[in-house]
Amino acid sequence: MCNCLDEITKKLTVRANEKLDWDNISGDFENSAINIKKLTIRLYSQFKITGEKKNTKGKIIQKSHRENIFYTYCPFCGCEYEPTKT
């Protein structure tokens, strides 16, 4: 497992500290999740689905739904997050 998330977080925090006139700067990836079984952090993207549906009164309303798509490989270095079992 790579440590790209930690390295990128540190680099972005240092860059923000140099550019911004703020105190106590910290940063973190918003689209990441913890795998409880393996205690690892993986990045993911959300896919938003939108559409229309008639409600009980016959009025058309907007509906939306989100699906999470977890990456199999690190988007920064290309290392596989969890090796496939053969």
**Domain segments of the chain: what residues?**
1-20+31-86
Burial 34-70 (b: 16+ CB within 10 A, else e): eeeeeeeebbeeeeeeeeeeeeeeeeeeeeeeeeeee
How much of the chain, in percent, has pLDDT values that exceed 90?
6
How is residue 85 annotated by DSSP? P
pTM comes to 0.58
Give the pLDDT confidence of 19-50 residue by residue, as tens digits: 888 888 888 777 777 766 667 777 888 888 88
The Cα–Cα gap between 35 and 25 comes to 27
The Cα–Cα gap between 44 and 19 comes to 28
Say if CB 13 and CB 25 are below 8 A apart. yes
